[in-house]
Amino acid sequence: MLLFSVLAAAVAPGLALLTYFYLKDRYDSEPLHMVFRVFLMGILMVLPVMIIQRGMMIWLGDNPYVEAILISGGVEEFVKWFVIYHIIYNHTEFDEPYDGILYSVAVSLGFATVENVLYAFAGNASVSAMFIRALLPVSGHAMFAVIMGYYLGRAKFSDGKKKRWFLMLSLVLPFFWHALYDVIMNTMVNHWLWFIAPLMAGLWYGAMGKITRANNRSPFRFVKREEEIKL
């Protein structure tokens, strides 16, 4: 019974956050099968990411800053970005700016959910420990994904230099915030809470603004208003 409770606590945050971001799509909800497929891609990413990270740890050594910046933040965000850009970015279902956020969140939460399950089994975690992970690592993955997806959405519907600029930001900014998060968690053993709490609050505040702006740029918002006027 305890094993089931811990497993449920490991899986529930990712599914709850994915549902929350899915419902935030105000104008043109994505097909559930597409969202699930992208979530599954995030799950399948875990093994290759672990192999790459293990190889880098053997090659670069055990340094908390290198681990936080390159091995964790760098590898994870690059692989997520690579998957979204090469599989979803040019897909016909990516037809409004908010879709970048939703699909990036789906990939990240698929990855974070498996990571959470592995932690639960490997570390014999309690339900309370999984609750803390829901507030921090799982939520953190979602916040980094919102940043990535917002700028992918901007790039998708921009041209020329703006497109290249937004594509660069979609990779660099999630990497920066993920690396900063991991540096705090890896190096500030006794004082991490004083830094991580305002960081997460700031990321959530910024994410809400990006969600609103992405929805406001949807081409379907005009269609919805015309339908309301006709009614």
Question: How would you write the pLDDT of the chain (231 residues) with one tens digit per residue?
Answer: 556 676 777 788 899 999 999 999 988 889 999 999 999 999 999 999 999 999 999 998 888 899 999 999 999 999 999 999 999 999 999 989 999 999 999 999 999 999 888 887 776 666 677 778 777 889 999 999 999 999 999 999 998 889 999 999 999 999 999 999 999 998 887 888 899 999 999 999 999 999 999 999 988 876 655 444 444
Structure confidence at residue 229 (pLDDT): 42
Pairwise CA distance, residues 45 & 47, whole Å:
6
What Cα–Cα distance (Å) separates residue 161 from each residue in 79, 89, 92? 24, 18, 23
The alpha carbon of 218 is separated from its chain's Cα centroid by a whole number of angstroms, namely: 21
What Cα–Cα distance (Å) separates residue 28 from each residue in 99, 104, 138, 142? 9, 17, 26, 21
Structure confidence at residue 186 (pLDDT): 87
Structure confidence at residue 78 (pLDDT): 97
Q: Residues 141, 109: contact at Cβ < 8 Å?
A: yes
Structure confidence at residue 69 (pLDDT): 93
Structure confidence at residue 189 (pLDDT): 76
Nearest-5° Cα angle at 48, 67 to 117: 80
pTM: 0.90
Structure confidence at residue 213 (pLDDT): 95
Structure confidence at residue 177 (pLDDT): 97
Size of the chain in residues: 231
Q: Which residues contact 23 (CB under 8 A, 6 or more apart)?
A: none
Structure confidence at residue 228 (pLDDT): 44
Q: Residues 170, 108: contact at Cβ < 8 Å?
A: no
Structure confidence at residue 26 (pLDDT): 87
